[in-house]
Amino acid sequence: MFKKHKHHRSDRIDSLIGQGSTVGGDVRFSGGLRIDGIVVGDVSGLEGKDSTLVVSEKARIEGEVVCTHLILNGEIAGSIAVSQYVELQPKARVRGDLSYKMLEVHPGAVVDGRLNHCADGNHPAAAVPNAD
């Protein structure tokens, strides 16, 4: 379903929030996280670790997103800061500002917000504390 790109640091999915699941609260992760359900809260990769977030077509996040790589085919309502690579697939819907280093946009993807290119990959919001 999702294409593999040379830009991704990890094609491995370590965690899954399945379709039909709703998580209320902030989610912190490292490695790969796939969301097929709904998250109401912020989703953040841990600082200093690679974090690949895959948001499938029927998935939704209502909160801020911070990670190193993002593959989006669902909906995110909130600001997004991605320090490396973003792929907005055809059903992607973003309602908020998107900061990125590299961006790929497929026909049909919608961004209702600002696109902010950060050449060095450093974003003010991209620093997420390490887990205890």
User: Using CA atoms, how far apart are residues 69 and 101, in angstroms rounded to an integer?
Assistant: 10
The region of weakest confidence among 33-37, 71-75, 120-124 is: 120-124
pLDDT tens digits for range 65-108: 999 999 999 999 999 999 999 999 999 999 999 999 999 999 99
Q: 87: number of CA atoms within 13 Å, CB side?
A: 17
Which residue in the block uniquely carries the two structure tokens 């097929």?
A: 36
Confidence check: pLDDT of 123 > 90: no
H/E run at residue 24: strand 22-24
The pLDDT value recorded for residue 12 is 82
The residue among 33 and 9 whose pLDDT is bigger is 33
The residue among 86 and 11 whose pLDDT is bigger is 86
